């Protein structure tokens, strides 16, 4: 697919959102032309998986549930203005009720979201999601957000590893990501995942991340996430 036709594009403050970019902050289902792929039913969430990060701190990683809207709102409130700018490419102040529903009421197939909870107090500390491209069922746009206090602990790598496993089992072959050009932390994480620079926009970089076939991922920590709750088994 041509770079010019991919949905991810830069979002400047006050600029209308491109209608085919589902990870922009305006919910995709509020925009004309967006719909999930036909024939898929939402699936229940899996139980959480405890994970020890490289600094010894522990998190519980699980699929986001519709009841997680308060956790998501709390996590967003703890993001610094800089982190909000890096994630949404604009100075977003809060998430509306409609946005909270969109980000938590996911089908775990065309739209997957994995959340990390602090093992000590149960508060949300990170989230990673993908949304399948409407015009290319083998590609999905991904995004990761980590609460500032948890930067530099390896949580982004853990979430992206597990999100990639989920995507492979859902028949997705590559991720795309639109990143602020000064987001060095995200750029480093994507390079670690063998991302390729696919394009540039005003203040943004666009990456493509190839995903190995699901059969090659059995030894990854996320392999268990492929066992159920996807329409097509690995």
| pLDDT at residue number 98 | 94
Q: What is the DSSP string of 54-111?
A: TTS-EEEEEE--GGGHHHHHHHHHTS-HHHHHHHHSS------HHHHHHHHS--SSSE
Fold category of 45-226 in CATH? Aminopeptidase (3.40.630)
pTM comes to 0.75
| Per-residue pLDDT tens digits for 161-173 | 999 999 999 999 9
**Nearest C-alpha neighbor of 146 from the set 90, 186, 93, 193:** 186
Whole-number pLDDT of residue 191: 87
The distance from CA 126 to its chain's CA centroid, rounded to whole angstroms, is: 10
Domain ranges of the chain: 45-226
How far is it, in rounded angstroms, from Cα 82 to Cα 225? 32
pLDDT given at position 226: 60
Cα–Cα distance measured from residue 198 to residue 174, given in angstroms and rounded to the nearest whole number: 12
Per the structure block, which two tokens stand in for 140? Answer: 């999905």
pLDDT in tens, the chain (234 residues): 333 333 333 323 333 333 344 354 433 333 333 444 444 444 434 456 789 999 999 999 999 999 999 999 999 999 999 998 888 887 788 899 999 999 999 999 999 999 999 999 999 999 999 999 999 999 999 999 999 999 999 999 999 999 999 999 999 999 999 999 999 889 889 988 899 999 999 999 999 999 976 555 433 444 455 654 444 333
Q: What's phi and psi for 42, nearest 5 deg?
A: -60, 145
**pLDDT at residue number 233:** 33
Angle, CA 213 vertex, CA 64 and CA 165 arms, to 5°: 15
- b or e along 201-211 (b: 16 or more beta carbons within 10 Å of the residue's beta carbon)? eeebbbbbbeb
Tokens of 94: 């809060």
């Amino acid at each position: 697919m041509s770079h010019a036709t991919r949905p991810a594009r830069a979002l400047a403050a006050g600029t209308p959102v491109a209608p085919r970019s589902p990870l922009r902050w305006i919910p995709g289902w509020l925009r004309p032309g967006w719909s999930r792929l036909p024939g898929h039913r939402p699936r229940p969430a899996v139980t959480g998986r405890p994970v020890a990060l490289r600094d010894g701190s522990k998190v519980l990683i699980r699929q986001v549930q519709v009841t997680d809207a308060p956790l998501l709102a709390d996590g967003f409130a703890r993001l610094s203005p800089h982190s909000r700018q890096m994630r949404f490419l604009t100075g977003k102040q809060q998430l509306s009720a409609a946005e909270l529903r969109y980000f938590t009421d996911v089908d775990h197939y065309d739209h997957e979201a994995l959340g990390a909870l602090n093992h000590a107090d149960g508060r949300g500390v990170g989230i990673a999601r993908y949304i399948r491209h409407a015009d290319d069922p083998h590609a999905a746009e991904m995004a990761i957000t980590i609460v500032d206090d948890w930067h530099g602990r390896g949580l982004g790598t853990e979430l992206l590893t597990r999100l990639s496993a989920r995507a492979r089992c859902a028949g997705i072959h590559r991720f795309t990501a639109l990143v602020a050009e000064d987001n060095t932390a995200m750029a480093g994480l994507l390079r670690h995942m063998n991302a390729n620079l696919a394009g540039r926009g005003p203040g943004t970089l666009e990456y493509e991340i190839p995903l190995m076939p699901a059969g090659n991922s059995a030894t990854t920590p996320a392999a268990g996430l492929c066992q159920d709750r996807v329409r097509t088994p690995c």
